[in-house]
Structure 1
Amino acid sequence: MRRGLTAAIGAAVLGLSCVACTNGGTAADAPPVLAPGAPGESASPATEEQLAAAQDGNGHNEADVTYMVKMIMHHEQAVEMADLVPDRVENAKIRALSDRIDVAQQGELTIMEEWLDVNVYQPARRNPAHQNYCGLGGDHHGDEAGCVELDTDHSDMPGMATPEQMAELESASGAAFDELFVKLMVTHHEGGITMAEDAMIDGRHSQVLQMANDLITDQSLEIERLESALQN
């Protein structure tokens, strides 16, 4: 519904601009843009944020970018945890689940990196003054001029295992490893769900919202499967 609303507003903005041009007037001469309401409801004047989203080809905000940047770091730790499994696991079900987690999160990492490149880094390289969300640091970010640096500290990121917990996981094996892996991964997934829920509230870009929604569904199921694997 959000995507349809933005598209409708965008079409209206474009249409009014063309009318103003053909009549020799300006956009200021055109009537107010109306945002379509829900079925059965009348249209209402579009908000400034809706108009900005329609006119912005990317349609993203700082919450979208912050979510993607931090979720990349979040996923990277999950992959790191999954990489410890083959040499230490005892439970075959946990081995299979960790393989699925590894594949899924590696794929999502690629998508998130591509989203940042298309929506943040490339536009910033073309016009540094146009973007506010670059210069994020790390291997996958450029040091772009005119950009506001986001805080990429993950110490307060929900669900992240501490260095001490990661060291303990690395030194464990057999049933002890299985139990600790499930404990840490369930906590990790719960934190990821919290981040995704925040993005659903504060974000704006349709792809980010879809990814956050999918993460909530997928990782909720994975939590159930991980906990069930220890019980059977």
Structure 2
Amino acid sequence: MTTSHAIRRAALGVATVSAVVLLAACGGEQQHTGAHGAPAAADAHNAQDVTFAQGMIPHHQQALEMARLAPGHAASAEVKALAARIEKAQDPEIRTMTGWLKSWGEEPPMEGMDHSRHGGMAGMSGMMSADDMTALEKSTGADFDQRFLTLMVAHHQGAVEMAKTEKAKGRDGRATTMADDVIAAQSAEIKQMKGLLGQK
């Protein structure tokens, strides 16, 4: 009986050690997965997401520059309301995208830069040239309304194209969601502006 009892105790001890080792292994595996998952989440963006944010920030900034002219230059109440809506939507998006770039270790476009007159931005889809911006600043009344709507349609169309590229090639969920928002909001505004211009 003594020998049998000793064998049972030994077997129990082996089983206990095995269970502890198994639990430790499981715990270690979970810990590894968690540790691996964290960097994966932090690195969930790609080069397209960076390009989208770095391009859309100055694109939005130029739209704000245009919109802020409306209260003192536009004749149409609809144009003024549209400009206010553009400013309300795009200003927070600039701050959000700037935060993404900083969190990714990327350089945001310089704040306060006059992007309409910055040569490197002139080739971006829908961006106004320096001459366009100067002409808009000098115009008032119905002439301003016509110029503003015509230029903003092209500007919005450029933003929609940029957002579609982000949707197709981007990886960061927040960035692709913002791209969805840009496409929806600016497509609706394009339709409205074309209506105000008498276009279909």
TM-score (norm 2): 0.74
Distance in 2 between the 1:182 and 1:196 partners?
A: 21
- Among 107, 120, 123, the alignment partner of 2:104 is 120
Superposition pairs for residues 182-201 of structure 1, below 5 Å?
182-201=149-168
Q: Which runs of 5+ in 1 are unaligned?
A: 1-18, 27-50, 122-133, 141-151
Matching of residue 106 in structure 1 with residue 91 in structure 2: yes
Distance in 1 between the 2:171 and 2:160 partners?
A: 17
Matching of residue 88 in structure 1 with residue 73 in structure 2: yes
Please report how far the alpha carbon of residue 182 of structure 1 lies from its aligned counterpart in structure 2 after TM superposition: 0.3
Match of 1:213 in 2: 180
Which entry has the higher C-alpha Rg, 1 or 2? 2
**Alignment CA distance shift 1:179-1:53 (3 Å):** farther
AA of the residue aligned to 1:104: A
Match of 2:122 in 1: 155
Distance in 2 between the 1:192 and 1:71 partners?
A: 7
Match of 2:46 in 1: 61
SS of the aligned residue for 1:153 comes to helix
**Alignment CA distance shift 1:206-1:25 (3 Å):** closer
**Alignment CA distance shift 1:58-1:138 (3 Å):** same
**Alignment CA distance shift 1:53-1:165 (3 Å):** farther
Match of 1:22 in 2: 25
**Alignment CA distance shift 1:22-1:154 (3 Å):** same
Report Cα offsets for 1:190-213 as digits up to 9, x if no partner.
000000001111110000000001
Contact 1:84 1:170 in 2 (8 A): yes
Match of 2:115 in 1: none
Contact 2:163 2:183 in 1 (8 A): yes
AA of the residue aligned to 2:64: V
Superposition pairs for residues 128-167 of structure 1, below 5 Å?
134-135=106-107, 138-139=110-111, 153-167=120-134
Aligned residues: 168
Distance in 2 between the 1:112 and 1:191 partners?
A: 18
Bigger proportion of residues as helix = 2
Report Cα offsets for 1:126-152 as digits up to 9, x if no partner.
xxxxxxxx2456249xxxxxxxxxxx9
Contact 2:57 2:109 in 1 (8 A): no
Distance in 1 between the 2:38 and 2:45 partners?
A: 7
Q: Which runs of 5+ in 2 are unaligned?
A: 1-21, 30-35, 113-118
Matching of residue 228 in structure 1 with residue 181 in structure 2: no
Contact 2:101 2:107 in 1 (8 A): no
SS of the aligned residue for 1:66 comes to helix
Distance in 1 between the 2:160 and 2:52 partners?
A: 12
Task: Spell out structure 1 runs of 4+ moving beyond 6 A.
Answer: 23-26, 51-54
Match of 2:171 in 1: 204
